[in-house]
Amino acid sequence: MTIENLSSQKSFGGWHKQYSHVSERLGCAMRFAIYLPPQASSGQKVPVLYWLSGLTCTDENFMQKAGAHRMAAELGVAIVAPDTSPRGDDVADDDGYDLGQGAGFYVNATEPPWNRHYQMYDYVLNELPALIESVFPVSDRRSLAGHSMGGHGALVLALRNPERFRSVSAFSPISHPVNCPWGRKAFSAYLGPDETVWQSYDASLLMRDAKHPVPALVDQGEADNFLDEQLKPEALEAAAEASGYPLELRRHEGYDHSYYFIASFIDEHLRFHARHLNH
Write out the catalytic residue numbers: 148, 224, 257
Give the chain as a DSSP string: --EEEEEEEEETTEEEEEEEEEETTTTEEEEEEEEE-GGGGGTPPEEEEEEE--TT--HHHHHHHS--HHHHHHHT-EEEEE-SS--STTS---SSTTSBTTB-TT-B--STTGGGT-BHHHIIIIIHHHHHHHHSSEEEEEEEEEETHHHHHHHHHHHH-TTT-S-EEEES----GGGSHHHHHHHHHHH-S-HHHHGGG-HHHHHHT-SS---EEEEEETT-TTIIIII-HHHHHHHHHHHT--EEEEEETT--SSHHHHHHHHHHHHHHHHHHHT-
